[in-house]
Amino acid sequence: MTGELSPIDKAKFAAAKQAASLVESGMRVGLGTGSTAAWLVRCLGELVREEGLRFRGVPTSSRTADLARDVGIEVVSLDEARWLDLTIDGADEFDGDLNLIKGGGGALLQEKIVATASDQMVVIADAAKEVERLGNFPLPVEVIPFGWQTTQALIEETLVSMDVMGRQTTLRMNGERPFFTDEGNHILDLHLGRIGNARQLAMVLNQIPGVVENGLFIDICDKVIIGYGDGRVETRDINAGTVSESQLDFVEDDNIFRDI
């Protein structure tokens, strides 16, 4: 029941509900990973069950794939879909130019591949994710396990010449063991505080041997849908240069809340 949800969860649900309305039957849609994207998948599942929506979803992680199948969405691989009409995903941070930090959920590699294989990428987020400058959220960098400590040292050395506030890096853990991505890689979290030139940093990081990909999404997002705890939704379209607002009326018996 929406009345039992926190304001943050209500905000995430509002953004997800609005984004779900962008999906039309026959589309091929990238499905993101994370708490906000999970709301989207539940909303889309409700449309599949209640309104007969039919589309093919390309998940960006095994967790999203499992949830999508559970709610009745047809799941296919990116190779099967080949190209996508739309990808909808969350973000850990976004700035005024709709540049992003992603990867808090550990799926940045698949998320970036899927997003760039789409005609349009839409980000759904609560208002707290907006920042003036990227970097407060630790920047995830996916690295191969072989020689990861050497890769870490190379990253830290590289950061000395970058316009960042901090240079601490940590290996992401899963309990007492290193975290592994779906591709079997590690993630190094870069605690930078502030990133002065995100575009430059993204390019430089990917030149370091052992780095697979970084969580800076530059010039990839086309639209951001921001949800608020009172049901307000703001949509910003970077290409059209437009900002629109709407109001979501929470429905207490909404089917997606049955298992929450």
- CA pair distance 131, 137, nearest whole angstrom: 10
How far apart are alpha carbons 154 and 84 in whole angstroms? Answer: 36
Question: Which entry of 24, 51, 80, 111 is annotated as an active-site residue?
Answer: 111
91 among the known binding-site residues?
yes
Q: What is the DSSP string of 98-151?
A: --EE--TTS-HHHHHHHHHTBS-EEEEEEGGGB-SSS-SSPEEEEE-STTHHHH
Ligand-binding site membership of 34 (annotated): yes
Alpha-carbon span 200 to 25, nearest angstrom: 39
Q: Is 223 annotated as a binding residue?
A: no
Residue 104 annotated as binding site: yes
User: Would you say 92 is a known binding-site residue?
Assistant: yes
Q: Can you say whether residue 86 is alpha, beta or left, with left for phi > 0 and alpha for psi between -120 and 50 degrees?
A: beta
Name the nearest CA neighbour of 22 among 228, 218, 220, 233: 233
The answer to whether the annotation marks 103 as part of a ligand binding site is: yes
C-beta separation of 64 from 73 below 8 A: no
Asked if residue 87 belongs to a known ligand binding site, the reply is no
Q: What are phi and psi of 138, to 5 degrees?
A: -55, 130
26 is in an annotated binding site: no
Q: Annotated binding residue at 36?
A: yes
Angle, CA 34 vertex, CA 174 and CA 51 arms, to 5°: 145
Which amino acid is residue 94, in one-letter code? Answer: F
Per the listing, tokens 């039957």 go with: 25
SS3 80: helix
184 is in an annotated binding site: no
111 flagged as catalytic: yes
Which sequence positions are flagged as catalytic? 111
Residue numbers in the known binding site for substrate are 33-36, 89-92, 102-105, 129
Residue numbers in the known binding site are 33-36, 89-92, 102-105, 129
